[in-house]
Amino acid sequence: MTILVFSGLLFATSILAGFLGALTGLGGGVVIVPVLALLFKVDIRYAIGASLVSVIATSSGAAVAYVREGLSNIRIGMFLEVATTLGALLGAYLTAKISSHWIAIVFGAVLLYSAFASFRKKSDRVPAEAQAENPLAKKLELTGVYPGPNGGEPYTAQRVPLGFGIMFAAGTLSGLLGIGSGAVKVLAMDQAMKLPFKVSTTTSNFMIGVTAAASAGIYLARGYIHPTIAMPVMLGVLAGSLLGTRILVKTDVATLRSVFALVIVLLGIEMMYSGITGKI
Amino acid sequence: MSRPTDHDLDLSVAAMLRVGVTLATLVMLGGGILSLLHPWTTTPDYKHFEPGGPALRTLSGIARSAMHGDAQSIIQLGLVLLIATPVARVVFCVAGFARQRSLLYFGISSLVLAVLLYSLTKGGGS
């Protein structure tokens, strides 16, 4: 295959991955790694390297749109980034220590979880638990005001150590698999810390870029980020996700979300199978 | 000067992120166009991982090789700019929290910055 054809195919596939990733809120990374590894037969280390840089690009490129909504909480994000960046260092360190079979198996499990999580109910309200006092959260200034239908509703983070712990795990997965692990980050903030759902998703978007940057330095030094693969993937995923975000505000994507979740489940099973049988 | 609010900080950070991504994309496209001057070269085998030389892996190697017009290294330079964008975001926050006189968050964001800089400079030692 010539360079031109290879780059063109990668670019086109990445546009589709970024587009679907943005429409479903799962991110382009969870799709592009299995596609590169299973379809393009690229070594999984090149695949996670290319995915990681595209994760940085989409997170940073989408920030403007998220900030306009005024929902992200910069302090909660920064506090939890201590956990995710340290986790990302550990994850990037682990990629060199464990075999690619195991990376594929863990990746498959994360895909299955992400597909499952995309069906959770999303509430537009501040959960009742988030109105309780929490001395630790108060001390760390992990509070905010949510612009609800009846004016500003104050919220306070709950179960801070648990949220911090899950964030460390999210960072480790991000560094190990080259993904944004947005689903796990939202789990920490929405389920564990009881933050309003939209605060969780928008703050998570901000955190993804910083978390990914923590492992990107290590990936670069190890040679996981290869220009011929990373460039078309990054440009394609970025273009696709910007397009997807634009369409998302206009149309209801419930059907597409279900179809895509099914694709994710199949990719997850195939990744686990390939890992177990030693094909990856 | 009045102290900036968290939302002001958010807005300036988002604008900066957009500039970083745009700049990185342009540099990468420049390298990409250069590399496609030889479009009929056969793709090497990416099935097996090969670490590659310093021209693609170290900051000094990438910079030196990009200066000589090497297409691959110019793409890599764009990718380094992209990786640097979230790092610059944290630098912005450190400065913003300092201007807000928020000692706690000045400390927390400095800690995040320290982890990032450690990864970028010392991360390769494995």
Closest CB from A40, A222, A232 relative to B51: A222
pLDDT of residue A127: 86
Q: For residue range A61-87, what is the model confidence (pLDDT) as tens digits?
A: 887 777 777 788 999 999 999 999 999
Q: Phi and psi dihedrals of B123, rounded to 5?
A: -60, -25
Max mean pLDDT among A113-122, A161-170, A179-188, A250-259 falls in A161-170
Whole-prediction pTM:
0.92
Amino acid B48: pLDDT:
85
User: What's the whole-number average pLDDT of chain B?
Assistant: 88
What mean pLDDT is reported for chain A? 90
Q: In chain A, which residues have their Cβ closer than 8 Å to the Cβ of B44?
A: 228
Rounded distance between C-alpha atoms, residue A110 and residue B63, angstroms: 36
d(CA B76, CA A49): 12
Asked, for residue B106, whether it belongs to a domain, the answer is yes
* Residue of higher predicted confidence among B55 and A139: A139
Separation of alpha carbons B123 and B70, rounded Å: 25
Which among B18, B42, B89 has the least Cβ separation from residue A1?
Answer: B42
Looking at residue A126, its pLDDT comes to 85
Alpha helix stretches (DSSP H) within chain A: 3-24, 29-34, 44-69, 74-95, 100-117, 135-139, 160-177, 182-186, 197-222, 227-248, 254-277
**What does the pLDDT read at residue A62?**
80
Instruction: Indicate whether B97 belongs to any domain.
Output: yes
In one letter, which amino acid is B34? Answer: L
Question: What domain count does chain B have?
Answer: 1
Contact B103/A at CB under 8 A: no
Among the residue ranges A73-77, A212-216, B35-39, the one predicted with the least confidence is: B35-39
Residue B73 domain-assigned? Answer: yes
pLDDT of A249 reads 67
Among B105, B109, B123, the residue with its CB nearest the CB of A221 is B123
pLDDT band of A276, cuts 50, 70, 90:
very high
Residue B48's closest chain A neighbor by CA? Answer: A43
Tell me the torsion sign for CA atoms A180, A183, A189, A193. negative
CA distances in angstroms from A31 to A49, A92, A196, A233, listed in the order given: 14, 20, 27, 11
Residue B1 counted as domain residue: no
When pLDDT is cut at 50, 70 and 90, the band that residue B126 belongs to is very low
Report, as an integer, the average pLDDT of B74-85: 95
Residue B46 belongs to some domain of the structure: no
Range(s) of the domain holding residue B70: 6-39+52-121
From the list A173, A48, A270, A21, the residue with the least C-alpha distance to B46 is A48
- Average pLDDT of span B76-88: 95
Is B126 among the domain residues? no
According to DSSP, residue A122 is labeled -
ipTM of this predicted structure: 0.91
Evaluate whether residue B47 is within a structural domain: no
Mean pLDDT for the stretch of residues A12-18: 94
Report whether B105 contacts A75 (CB < 8 A): yes
B93: in domain: yes
Chain A residues inside the 8 Å CB shell of B86:
56, 59-60, 209-210, 212-213
Q: What is the number of other CB atoms lying within 10 angstroms of the CB of residue A180?
A: 31
